[in-house]
Structure 1
Amino acid sequence: MDDDDVDEDKERFAAMYDACRMRVWAYAVSRVGAQAADEVVSETFMVAWRRFAEMPAASLPWLLGVARNVIRDSARAQVRRDSLAAELRRWTEEATADVADGVVDRLTLLRALTELSDADREVLTLIAWQGLAPREAARVLGCTTPALRVRLHRARKRLAEAAQTSSGRGRRAVDSIEMGLS
């Protein structure tokens, strides 16, 4: 594809974007509200740009179908996040604070895990709960082993901070499972 073809595609895409953006946005608002609509529109047009050659001449129905899929995928992801958060909350509610220090540390860590981002929670659980080696976890996350180690270090630090905030036992709780996270 030469520069003229690329420029022509950019112009056609810009014209299609200008013609359809507000209608895709209105559709998204009707499904997910104004706050999330901008993200849905962005993802929809990102897909449209990647698959521009496949887009039919009547682009609006195709774009609305993509927006629908983006919304559906986002809802599925939210259900997964909510389910995990509910499971973590259930585990913390089942634990009692007046038993052995190990249980208290576990409770502290579970509460702290609910405070972390999905990305931090994922890297920690791949290593500690799934028992993956850093190289294996890096493969799962699609990054290099050194990048995984940096992410793991930062996630551990945020976990300790969240545990400290929740109970004052953060460093001790994280130290108690440090061997499982290395």
Structure 2
Amino acid sequence: MTDFDALYAAHRDDVWRYFKRRSPADHEDLVTEVFLVAWRRAGEVPHEPLPWLYGVARRVLANHRRAGDRRDALAERAAAHAAPAAPDLAEAVGLRTDLARALAELSDQDRELVLLVAWEGLTLAEAAAALGCRRGTAAVRLHRARRRLHTALHDDESGPALASMTALEER
């Protein structure tokens, strides 16, 4: 057994408890970081290593908290600049199951075209580029797919799917 193995075996649980008392999560990752520092700086580990390991653990925990604060601040800034998500019309009207069934009846290419336009918000030209076809071809396929979806979703013009289909047809 090497000196590092002995150091790890003797003090791993002490360092883990140190983090358990001070941090709600990530204990194992933090312990790993402490012993990575100990391994890298093996020549600097004193004869009584536990206080030194606690000092390393304190700095590792401080770095971990600062990183968490930076991550939270970045998430807040990103959320402030993010466009509000469009409502899922199918879910709002309670048609998710019917819509999934109707979409499953389309060919793979037509389904992907419909989803790119309706759910991903691409223009017809962008969807055509994503699918590797011409805009005119995509327009014809989208028109036919809309018609099949319309038929599958409602028998008459006043069905509850009209709102979601209107959103699809406007693109």
**TM-score normalised over the length of structure 1:** 0.46
Larger Rg: 2
TM-score by length of 2: 0.49
